Amino acid sequence: MNGIDNETSYRLVSRDFQPENTVISLGDVKIGGADPVIIAGPCAVESEEQILDTARLVRSQGVRLMRGGAFKPRTSP
């Protein structure tokens, strides 16, 4: 199959270079570890009330990390 040989062309993503998974810690949350990580939040933050309500809702569902877009170039002037 045609394509890029990532074993030699992209050493930083090669298992030959680093056989173990990369794990990033954000507080006590580990991204890339054994447990799945869910990051939730709105596509675009429209108000302080909206983001605080969303934060409470996703936290009540066990979500530990939240994201929210501050600028939406497709619709913002």
Contact 21, 13 (CB under 8 A): no
For residue 57, report the phi and psi dihedrals to the nearest 5 degrees. -65, -50
Nearest to residue 62, comparing CAs of 33, 35, 22?
35
Per-residue pLDDT, 75: 61
Rounded to whole angstroms, the Cα distance separating 23 from 9 reads: 23
Model confidence pLDDT, tens digit, residues 19-36 = 888 899 999 899 998 889
pLDDT of residue 23: 93
